[in-house]
Structure 1
């Protein structure tokens, strides 16, 4: 908005320098780019992330299977381990468990479960791959959509920051050029500036 006011203010002002007008145009161009290009890049990046993540969700749900495992014996307790998918279930206890894979094969291994004080014989859900090996919970569609939205917002903010940085660099260079011209003018005026009889 300041850019538009600046252009309007300088449009017929006899004190308007070319650099003042150039700064106002640079500011207006930066504003228009931020308002048009940044959201467009955000939408494109978010859409691309959404497609990729939803494809990953489908692949994970096709290749991972939930089976029922049985606690053989507790191993250790960890209060710092949390489910990376954020499904609300804290993973607190490490147990030796056995389970049957989707292909019918029997497995036994150490896994982390969300059971307080597990006892031998306790049953819990476990995600496995096609061969019955324990794997992480598959990504769900809502989490993937959230990640895609965040990616789009991040891309838009990065684009806006890049445009603003370019605008600031352009204005900084214009101001430095203006100061250099003023310096040359002062040098041309010489050390006699303001003295009586020097014609100034």
Structure 2
């Protein structure tokens, strides 16, 4: 219709630029461009400063936790003989490559340090017959369990938590930067619409 103001077309997104482009003098540079650039630089500096500190603190806390866990496990678990009360399944075939990595839960009989005989379930190789003896780790109550954490496992878990914490800081920084960019982008579009509403009538009015 004559005199109708056409809708404002959003400005094109910023093309790829060097890292410090928004800090340079440019007639097309907007205030939000400078603001976005400074916020990005601040977030980057904050991540580079905070991530190593966070990794050290979290890693130290994780190491203390897992070392204490390993000490407790060493004090409350021990290795002993266990006798199968029934045959273990024979599949896969004993001696095969698959058999080396396969274990079946089977009922076994153990004697605790206090001299009590009890049964528990432990994972054993395929094909073992009843009355076969295996070495397993048990708790003080005679329950089958995993061996205590080794120093290598403690180090591995400590490093894992340290890396996860540093990654979390980096992801948080990226999210803050992305959210800030979105808010500034919407602000630019709103100002663009306002400016177009004021300018469009001059272009579309009949002379």
TM-score using structure 1 length: 0.79
Match of 1:83 in 2: none
String of CA shifts for 1:96-142, please: whole Å, max 9, x gaps: 322211222222333322x2311233221111122333223322221
How far, CA to CA, are the matches of 2:177 and 2:72 in structure 1? 44
Q: Which segments of 5 or more consecutive residues in structure 2 lack a partner in the other structure?
A: 1-16, 93-99
Match of 1:22 in 2: 35
Q: Does structure 1 retain, via aligned residues, the 8 Å contact 2:106–2:123?
A: yes
Of residues 134, 138, 161 in structure 1, which corresponds to 2:144? 134
How far, CA to CA, are the matches of 1:119 and 1:27 in structure 2? 67
Q: Does structure 2 retain, via aligned residues, the 8 Å contact 1:67–1:126?
A: yes
Q: Does structure 1 retain, via aligned residues, the 8 Å contact 2:91–2:126?
A: no
Match of 1:106 in 2: 117
- CA shift, 1:163, in A, is 0.9
Higher RCO (CA < 8 A, seq sep 6+): 2
Of residues 16, 23, 32 in structure 1, which corresponds to 2:45? 32
Q: Structure 1 stretch 31-40 or stretch 132-141: which is displaced more?
A: 132-141
Shift in CA distance, 104/2, structure 1 to aligned 2, threshold 3 Å: farther
How far, CA to CA, are the matches of 2:18 and 2:48 in structure 1? 14
- CA shift, 1:75, in A, is 5.0
How far, CA to CA, are the matches of 1:78 and 1:101 in structure 2? 31
Aligned residues: 184
Match of 2:184 in 1: 174
Q: Does structure 2 retain, via aligned residues, the 8 Å contact 1:43–1:152?
A: yes
How far, CA to CA, are the matches of 1:191 and 1:77 in structure 2? 87
- CA shift, 1:58, in A, is 0.9
String of CA shifts for 1:28-78, please: whole Å, max 9, x gaps: 112112222123222222221121111111111111011111223225468
Of residues 97, 101, 125 in structure 1, which corresponds to 2:108? 97
Match of 2:64 in 1: 51
User: The residue matched to 1:16 in structure 2 has which SS?
Assistant: coil
How far, CA to CA, are the matches of 1:60 and 1:170 in structure 2? 48
User: The residue matched to 1:73 in structure 2 has which SS?
Assistant: coil
User: The residue matched to 1:191 in structure 2 has which SS?
Assistant: helix
Cα RMSD (Å): 2.6
> Superposed, which structure 2 residues align to 1:154-193 within 5 Å?
154-193=164-203
TM-score using structure 2 length: 0.76
Q: Which segments of 5 or more consecutive residues in structure 1 lack a partner in the other structure?
A: 80-88
